[in-house]
Amino acid sequence: NTCLVFGQMNETPGARLRVPFTAMTIAEHFRDEEKKDILLFMDNIFRFVLAGSEVSALLGRIPSQTGYQPTLASEVGSLQERITSTNDGSITSVQAIYVPADDLTDPAIVSTFSHLDSSLVLSRAIASLGIFPAVDPLESTSSLLNPRIIGERHYAAATAVKKILQRYKELQDIIAILGIEELAEEDKIVVSRARKIQKYLSQPFAVAEVFSGIPGVYVKIENNETSILLTKCSEKTEYCYENTRNF
């Protein structure tokens, strides 16, 4: 039920460049011939880009201003556009993407992200707060965040959370210089809610139980949507929301 295709760093760039296409061909075979739904993992797609850059240099092509190969967009597209569904089956891909210097505007990252339906961006800053999984809600995106798909209440809750976290991000410089006491009362409430939301997003996963010692939990969407929208979290401290089940 599993096929593994390796392109290790000690191999030639040409071989490493072809490895993702080999994996795609295998996945397409199972989708089209065996009529299966395929889950395709790629780790790490940035190595595919680097292999293309090395091959481009060996061929004597003039690199772009950012140092990448001039064919970057077409190479990434030729791989990503093959990940699709047909009447016979589907291919769903989960890809790890290294972000050089944490720069989400890097051409390799932009070229890859433009083909993805959803992205979960892991943040060093959030990890430094001891919040795991260290997902950045403001940088992460999903094409499924649509009221017609997830419902009006879920969409409203997600939008409200992002609005609060964005305002908190804007206030952090003021807090660092002047302190939280210098903020307006409305902004103090925003900061309090944002910190509680940040702690709440540290949900314990069952797969991480062996590392954290904290049992994994499942969270009911409906209860938390209502709590977020009705601001039921004002009485407790932010630490009450760390690794908890309900908001």
Reported as a single tens digit per residue, the pLDDT across 55-74 is 999 999 998 878 899 999 99
Q: Looking up tokens 């210098």, which residue turns up?
A: 182
Residue 27: give its domain's CATH number.
3.40.50.300
* Each residue's pLDDT tens digit, 36-60: 999 999 998 999 999 999 999 999 9
4 in any annotated domain: no
Number of domains into which the chain is organized: 2
Burial 161-193 (b: 16+ CB within 10 A, else e): beebbeebeebeeeeeeeeeeebeeebeebbbb
The answer to whether residues 23 and 64 belong to one domain is yes
**Average pLDDT of the chain to the nearest whole number:** 87
User: Distance between alpha carbon 88 and the CA centroid of its chain, in Å?
Assistant: 29
Q: Average pLDDT, stretch 206-223?
A: 78
Within a 10 A sphere around the Cβ of 15, how many other Cβ atoms?
13
Residues 89 and 160 in one domain: no
Q: What is the pTM of this model?
A: 0.80
